[in-house]
Amino acid sequence: MKNFDLIVVGGGPGGIFAAITAAEKGFKVALLEKNKRIGNKILVAGSGKCNLTHTGKPKDFLDKYGDSGKFLKEALNKFSPDKLKEFFADNGLPLVLIEESGKFFPATFSSVDVVNLLKETLIRLNVQIVESFKIEEILKMGDEFHIVSDKEEYRAKNVLLATGGKSYPGVGTTGDGYVFAKSLGHKIVPPQPALAPIYVKEYAFEELSGISFQDVKITFWKENRKLIEKIGSVLLTHTNFSGPGILDNSRYVQSETSLEINYIGLEYEVFNKDIIESINEDGKKTIKKYLLKYSLPERFVKKILKISEIQEDIKLSELSKIKREELAKMLTSNKMEISKVGNFEMAMVTKGGVSLEEVNSKTMESKKVKGLYFAGEILDIDGDTGGYNIQGACSMGVLAAKSMTK
Ligand SMILES: Cc1cc2nc3c(=O)[nH]c(=O)nc-3n(C[C@H](O)[C@H](O)[C@H](O)COP(=O)(O)OP(=O)(O)OC[C@H]3O[C@@H](n4cnc5c(N)ncnc54)[C@H](O)[C@@H]3O)c2cc1C
């Protein structure tokens, strides 16, 4: 049996930053990780380059977590994006900003360097890192937690659950934390894949894989009710719609939701007016040439014309009213029935998890079990792409550690 002030379960960013912060405050800390090494998800983050945070102040971050952003206010204030950058710079791995996207990466663009630095820091602070540790159960007896495994038992007055969500199970996040939290009396909001591609019925763009549209209008409908309207980038793949605008908003998809995309950046009436004017002024121009003036990719224009059963060399003056309106609808408000959202294997994060109602956002402590803390994706909170998830997890971990060591 081993005794600690804090046992952190899960070696992702949330758990690691909690362990570092608590150890700095003099706590005796153990970090338990079921994989052979900590930080497996950090290794895959940002395609191995690790997008750690985003430009902006804490207040700019709040609306990047769907409806749950305000839960993170205290955490982001206690450990802001600037503090995260400072941590890495002070430890010899400064972060660099990619201006176009607002994303921050380590200067070496290497997730391996991030994990190595974090591991070295944990070791320097005497955090006991226990890898390949398989927890059987977590019990609360008196004012102490007992972490039971098939080999050893660990005990501590404080436990922080940071086991992540259910997405990308290959890196170790298989929803174990939900079982532990539930056994300790917590409510779990049903987990769903988020930051995932969206599949539609009769997807028409198989051969256009790789084409993307910047800052287009994306609308989600439930029957005739508008659920949400956003501006974002869309990527066409072999089988589905992806890209930041789709991934970030996949959290809003419910049953019987439709996806509408405006590829051209003009409202239906504006486009319709423009094409009518062009018919009057330059009726000899082919429809294909006319559409290319909108900087649409040629392969896309050809496909749209094919779907609309319009010959690409037809002159504008030969375009019937019905076909013109069909085309305008297709380009400005292409509404498609969603068949599914990408599954947990492909989703980058998990929506749902430990209910926020039962966790104190000022301390990250459970409102039900004294000494039990949470950080990161295990909670019912998920961020947009761009570094918001790692920043959120780190901020929650730091806040939890600061609260318990006060
Ligand atoms: C492909 C991909 C790319 C991504 N890229 C980015 C990016 O560039 N920027 C960004 O901000 N976010 C990115 N994310 C999301 C981000 O990585 C996660 O949201 C973040 O890592 C969550 O941190 P966490 O602390 O909650 O735990 P996680 O990083 O999910 O780690 C949880 C840890 O707990 C361990 N664990 C699970 N169960 C147990 C158990 N029973 N006992 C012990 N340990 C356990 C797991 O093995 C894992 O190591 C990406 C996600 C994916 C899948």
Binding site membership of 77 for ligand 1 (Cβ less than 6 Å): no
What distance in angstroms lies between residue 295's CA and the mean position of ligand 1's atoms? Answer: 39
**Dist. CA 127–CA 129, nearest whole Å:** 6
Of the candidate ranges 15-19, 47-51, 99-103, 252-256, the one whose mean pLDDT is the lowest: 252-256
> Does position 275 have pLDDT exceeding 90, yes or no?
yes
What the block records as the tokens of 286 is: 């082919």
Binding site membership of 44 for ligand 1 (Cβ less than 6 Å): yes
Computed over every residue of the chain, the mean pLDDT equals 96
State mean pLDDT over 250-258. 91
State mean pLDDT over 179-200. 97
| Alpha-carbon distance values, 160 to 28, 249, 269, 335 (Å) | 13, 29, 55, 44
Among 79, 81, 61, CA closest to 70: 61
Shortest-distance atom of ligand 1 to CA 40: 49
| Alpha-carbon distance values, 272 to 7, 269, 316 (Å) | 63, 5, 12
Residue indicated by tokens 């700095």: 24
Structural domains of the chain, with CATH: 2-193+348-405 (3.50.50.60), 197-342 (no CATH)
Binding site membership of 51 for ligand 1 (Cβ less than 6 Å): yes
Q: How confident is the model at residue 254 (pLDDT cuts 50, 70, 90)?
A: confident
Identify which of 41, 133, 178 to mutate to test ligand 1's pocket (most ligand atoms within 8 A of the CB).
Answer: 41
Binding site membership of 353 for ligand 1 (Cβ less than 6 Å): no
**Dist. CA 39–CA 1, nearest whole Å:** 26
> Does position 255 have pLDDT exceeding 90, yes or no?
no
> Does position 268 have pLDDT exceeding 90, yes or no?
yes
Binding site membership of 162 for ligand 1 (Cβ less than 6 Å): yes
> Does position 84 have pLDDT exceeding 90, yes or no?
yes
pLDDT tens figures, 301-356: 999 999 999 999 999 999 999 999 999 999 999 999 999 999 999 999 999 999 99
What distance in angstroms lies between residue 104's CA and the mean position of ligand 1's atoms? Answer: 18
What distance in angstroms lies between residue 12's CA and the mean position of ligand 1's atoms? Answer: 5
Residue indicated by tokens 């076909």: 323
Q: How confident is the model at residue 151 (pLDDT cuts 50, 70, 90)?
A: confident
Dihedral angle, C-alpha 53, 28, 138, 134, nearest 10 °: 70
**Dist. CA 339–CA 277, nearest whole Å:** 38
Binding site membership of 41 for ligand 1 (Cβ less than 6 Å): yes
**Dist. CA 306–CA 171, nearest whole Å:** 43
Cβ-proximal residues to 8 (8 Å cutoff; 6+ apart), any chain: 15, 16, 18, 19, 22, 29, 30, 31, 32, 159, 160, 162
76 neighbors 132 (Cβ within 8 angstroms): no
> Does position 31 have pLDDT exceeding 90, yes or no?
yes
Amino acid symbol at 6: L
What distance in angstroms lies between residue 286's CA and the mean position of ligand 1's atoms? Answer: 52
Q: How confident is the model at residue 250 (pLDDT cuts 50, 70, 90)?
A: very high
What the block records as the tokens of 43 is: 């290794």
Q: pLDDT > 70: what percent of the chain?
A: 100
pLDDT tens figures, 107-127: 999 999 999 999 999 999 999
What the block records as the tokens of 358 is: 């039962």
Q: pLDDT > 90: what percent of the chain?
A: 98
> Does position 392 have pLDDT exceeding 90, yes or no?
yes
> Does position 150 have pLDDT exceeding 90, yes or no?
no
